[in-house]
Amino acid sequence: DVKVTQSSRYLVKRTGEKVFLECVQDMDHENMFWYRQDPGLGLRLIYFSYDVKMKEKGDIPEGYSVSREKKERFSLILESASTNQTSMYLCASSILSRGEKLFFGSGTQLSVL
């Protein structure tokens, strides 16, 4: 089975800190995605990547950046964390072709104090 691993299940950071959320997948998938999930708002796409060193903005990229230096790893970076970035962050991957499904990690619950 595909495994998508997020480095932390829970994370607590201070306002203004630089935060790295790491995601690794083990199935050689081309596509990787970062979503955030908030009550009443569902999942919203932050960034995605369809190849190494490639990235595309999703619906809510403001305040975030990403890095994809290796195919299996996709990092989400909060340059200066703010309280409104307190959220559940979900990473996903998929094969680059029509009709393929997403595989999700278990999520990182980030609290910014």
Partner 1 sequence: DAKTTQPPSMDCAEGRAANLPCNHSTISGNEYVYWYRQIHSQGPQYIIHGLKNNETNEMASLIITEDRKSSTLILPHATLRDTAVYYCIVRVEKGGNQFYFGTGTSLTVIP
- Where on the chain is the footprint of partner 1 (CB under 8 A)? 4, 31, 33, 35, 40-45, 48-50, 54, 56, 58-59, 90, 92, 94, 96, 98-107
Q: How far is the CB of 45 from partner 1 (least distance, A)?
A: 6
Q: How far is the CB of 89 from partner 1 (least distance, A)?
A: 10
Distance from C-alpha of 106 to C-alpha of 113, rounded to nearest angstrom: 23
- 46 contacts: CB under 8 Å, gap ≥ 6: 34, 35, 36, 58, 59, 60, 61, 64, 66, 76
Residue 11 vs 43, nearer CB to partner 1: 43
- How do beta strands 10-13 and 108-112 pair? parallel
Q: Hey, is 83 helix, strand or coil?
A: helix
Nearer to partner 1, 14 or 40 (CB): 40
Nearest to 70 by CA among 54, 57, 89, 46: 54
Q: Which is nearer to partner 1, 78 or 90 (CB)?
A: 90
Smaller CB distance to partner 1: residue 28 or 56?
Answer: 56
Whole-number minimum distance, CB 16 to partner 1, in Å?
A: 29
